[in-house]
Structure 1
Amino acid sequence: MCYDETNTQIDERLAKQKKAIDGWLPITSSRNAKWWYSAFHNVTATVGAGVLGLPYAMAQLGWGPGVAILVLSWVITLYTLWQMVEMHEMVPGRRFDRYHELGQYAFGEKLGLYIVVPQQLIVEVAACIVFMVTGGKSLKKFHDTVCSTCKDIKLTYFIMIFASVHFVLSHLPNFNSISGVSLAAAAMSLSYSTIAWGASIHKGVQADVQYGYKAETASGTVFNFFSALGDVAFAYAGHNVVLEIQATIPSTPEKPSKGLMWRGVVVAYIVVAFCYFPVALIGYRIFGNSVEDNILISLEKPAWLIGMANIFVVIHVIGGYQIYAMPVFDMMETVLVTKLNFSPTRLLRFVVRNVYVGFTMFIAITFPFFGGLLAFFGGFALAPTTYFLPCIMWLAIYKPRKYSLSWWTNWFCIICGLCLIILSPIGGLRQIILSAKTYEFYS
């Protein structure tokens, strides 16, 4: 009898401890989000640095392949996002609050971790690094635009200025606490995208515009094409945090969270289309194959408008950084508290998050190659978790009838994703190498 009572006490203590830890961790500490939180969190997670590189991607792809890949990517990623939303509560009474938890259910406890966690970490850390580079470059562009006669300042210092904001914001405890930052970021993404294509129209088609492939050799054209696939894949990121975003929405058996979450996703993807297609098509139409890997760099006038657009980009990537960093904070804090038995304290959170921000800042300063980073990480990391991993989990869990529409659709998405993961890192790595050779670290 005493043995049973002891076991009961142990179970109660462990349950109480787990509840306390869940109430402290950033993903599970708050579940009172509204559906529109989902909308602007998803806009912030998806529309980011990638949209500014889409005209450059179009220049490497050409009109026909470029338009086809943009549209196909929008459709595929909306479909896989719907799958993620549906799978969040596929088991009655249980919520898969984190990507790796869903992976563990689909592939097994250990294999699910090995498959999902490395990919998700690469995606989220890579996105934070690219946001660091983008924020620093946009700050530098703003400085050079509004003060063209001022002394030139290294990009390194602007990245450090951008990082200083995150040494403060990163201590907000959970997703709901950054909702204001995310809302501002979503509004800015719509604003600077509109400025990008609006200012391009105002500038007019350039007199010497050319739409042919810029590379002088066939191999160069092929490598650039591969690189552009990665740019597009990076632009359609966002799935890596969708379960974590949905975890903040309240849910009951009568009113599951997937209804509210899907409403927000639909609104978000309408905004994504409004941002992506005009920027990509108009930007390429105006500048042709001479467009920069960040279209705002190609736009020089009016100076006040371009300066404002760059500030909008800075505000947006501040929010984007926080959205992608939050699941990383959750992973690190979970390991420290549950595996290494650290106490869930503010001091622990202060140290962990500052170390992470400092790490991403250091990598961004070391490798400030915007275009190459987009292509390499877009294909190597984002394509699996965005294009085909949800489909594989869907096939593993729901097991649709062989040769049915669902079966064919998922395999088509898987094949497209595999093409991205095989081809685009090749082009992205080449672009990083070329950028490293030409970049002047001490200019």
Structure 2
Amino acid sequence: MGTTQAPENYCPANEKSMEEWLPINPSRNSTQKKSIKEWLPINSSRNAKWWYSAFHNVTAMVGAGVLGLPYAMSELGWGPGIAVLVLSWIITLYTLWQMVEMHEMVPGKRFDRYHELGQHAFGEKLGLWIVVPQQLVVEVGLSIVYMVTGGQSLQKFHDIICDSKCKHIKLTYFIMIFASVHFVLSQLPNFNSISGVSLAAAIMSLSYSTIAWGASVNKGKVANVDYDLRATTTPGKVFGFFEAMGTMAFAYAGHNVVLEIQATIPSTPEKPSKKPMWKGVVVAYIVVALCYFPVSLVGYWAFGNHVDDNILITLNNPKWLIAVANMMVVVHVIGSYQVYAMPVFDMLETVLVRKLHFPPGLMLRLIARTAYVAFTMFVAITFPFFGELLGFFGGFAFAPTTYFLPCIMWLAIYKPKRFSLSWFTNWICIVLGVLLMILSPIGGLRQIIMKAKTYRFYS
């Protein structure tokens, strides 16, 4: 992919970052402002290497979504399922490249946050309103889903190890156990401080994905495997198709933190951050392909339309291996939760310090971040619908921020010639992304409503 330079004379009037736009106490001098900026999680460290980009992106992308891909295949069928899987990989790699390129399109300025790029493209106020709500829905939604996933995997590990010897424990308690880890880890200050957790999570993602498809191959096709669509009624098939597209979109959701990850890499005019960042992204996408394609295809091949919304729940043998895989999922979603929570912490602390004038420090972080973890834990305990949450959040917010918002920004900033290859490519992505955004939440919401009819809260 070639590099396109932003027009030299392009610089929107009165362009400001979120920190500059929010009201600041006039008594604070420039030194105080600088120290506050350096205290915020995204800006506090810029010494990351290209491999940080690789495993942060793997951790951000390969999460709960990969476990739901065989289930999505059962709602799409072989042909449409493979087409959506491959197209999503190609389109999201392209839009991720766009974001890496746009990070430093203005000489001497870095767009360290997604909303800052949005302000550059759409204006300081409109950019905030377009990007921030969508980004928050994605990141908070993922935090909730990862709470559910972590709790389910802990419960599955417990049930496999204990078999019928132990007393049944509610999913609620496992989610609380999982959340207890985050009450501690959430106090780590920035992306680089969670690099060890993220690296472990990336290794775990490749490992449990390999176990998932490897165990499926070992098990072989189940008796009377059926590759017809999961639903038997026409409305069920249609809504299931919509939900499956949302699940696919959920699996490629790493764009929401890509600029924040790139912000941790040092940059000079001679060695811009986009080069090591792109190197890391390519490695990450190779790992993504090694995880997604085998799990999706082999999982569906082995179980057909009887696969669960989390393939590790479908697999029971060999018991020790599935138990290990579930603990790997737990480790991985611990890292994924932290990667997606960090931009939320940055937004929270920016508003608290710059708008509400709270003094920055340990106490502020302790209270704000603990409250956020508690909130996501509560929602996860209340609505633990794993597969349906994937479909709903995948279309509602992941499609815009991943599939077409980068393309709209690209068109607004670079203004490629009408009917050129770049123009056509971006408009195709926009049309497909808008369709995904409209259709997939319908399927996910319907499934949530159907499951809620028989669900007992906190059971």
Q: TM-score normalised by the shorter chain: which range applies?
A: over 0.9
Pairwise mapping of residues 293-442 of structure 1 onto structure 2 (< 5 A)?
A: 293-441=309-457
Pairwise mapping of residues 31-430 of structure 1 onto structure 2 (< 5 A)?
A: 31-148=46-163, 149-430=165-446
Q: Deviations over 1:230-285 (max 9, x none)?
A: 00000011100000000000000100000000000000000000000000000000
Give the drift of 1:16: 1.2
Give the drift of 1:13: 5.8
2-structure distance, mates of 1:73, 1:215: 24
Give the drift of 1:383: 0.4
SS of alignment partner, residue 91 of structure 1:
coil
Give the letter aligned to residue 336 of structure 2: G
CA contact (8 A) 2:382 2:458 kept: no
Q: Deviations over 1:5-44 (max 9, x none)?
A: xxxxx99963212210111100000000011000000000
Determine what percentage of the aligned residue pairs are the same residue.
76
2-structure distance, mates of 1:440, 1:299: 26
Deviating above 3 A after TM superposition, structure 1's stretches of 4 or more consecutive aligned residues are 10-14, 440-443
Give the letter aligned to residue 431 of structure 1: Q
Q: Deviations over 1:58-98 (max 9, x none)?
A: 00000000000000000000000000000000000000000
- Return the TM-score normalized by structure 1: 0.97
SS of alignment partner, residue 135 of structure 2:
helix
Q: Deviations over 1:296-316 (max 9, x none)?
A: 000011110000000000000
Give the letter aligned to residue 19 of structure 1: K
Match of 1:21 among 29, 32, 36: 36
Instruction: Tell me whether 16-25 or 85-94 shows the greater mean CA deviation.
Output: 16-25
Give the letter aligned to residue 258 of structure 1: K
SS of alignment partner, residue 184 of structure 1:
helix
2-structure distance, mates of 1:311, 1:167: 19
1-structure distance, mates of 2:37, 2:80: 47
2-structure distance, mates of 1:63, 1:331: 42
SS of alignment partner, residue 53 of structure 1:
helix
- Return the TM-score normalized by structure 2: 0.93
2-structure distance, mates of 1:288, 1:75: 26
Cα RMSD over matched residues?
1.1
2-structure distance, mates of 1:166, 1:13: 34
SS of alignment partner, residue 47 of structure 2:
coil
Give the drift of 1:441: 3.7
SS of alignment partner, residue 23 of structure 1:
helix
Give the letter aligned to residue 398 of structure 1: Y
2-structure distance, mates of 1:261, 1:115: 25
1-structure distance, mates of 2:114, 2:342: 13
| Change beyond 3 A, Cα 1:11–1:439 | closer
**Number of equivalences:** 434
Give the letter aligned to residue 35 of structure 2: A
CA contact (8 A) 2:172 2:458 kept: no
Give the drift of 1:437: 1.8
| Change beyond 3 A, Cα 1:11–1:160 | closer
CA contact (8 A) 2:381 2:458 kept: no
Give the drift of 1:216: 1.9
Instruction: Tell me whether 205-214 or 155-164 shows the greater mean CA deviation.
Output: 205-214
Give the drift of 1:438: 2.8
| Change beyond 3 A, Cα 1:376–1:442 | closer
Q: Deviations over 1:100-122 (max 9, x none)?
A: 00000000010000000000000
2-structure distance, mates of 1:97, 1:190: 28
2-structure distance, mates of 1:123, 1:219: 28
Aligned to 2:7: none
Give the drift of 1:214: 2.3
1-structure distance, mates of 2:29, 2:245: 48
1-structure distance, mates of 2:369, 2:105: 32
Aligned to 2:6: none
SS of alignment partner, residue 215 of structure 1:
coil
Give the letter aligned to residue 258 of structure 2: V
Structure 1 regions of 5+ residues with no counterpart?
A: 1-9
Aligned to 1:7: none
Give the drift of 1:213: 1.2
2-structure distance, mates of 1:263, 1:249: 12
Give the letter aligned to residue 59 of structure 1: S
1-structure distance, mates of 2:264, 2:231: 47
2-structure distance, mates of 1:185, 1:162: 15
Instruction: Tell me whether 10-19 or 351-360 shows the greater mean CA deviation.
Output: 10-19
1-structure distance, mates of 2:155, 2:331: 14
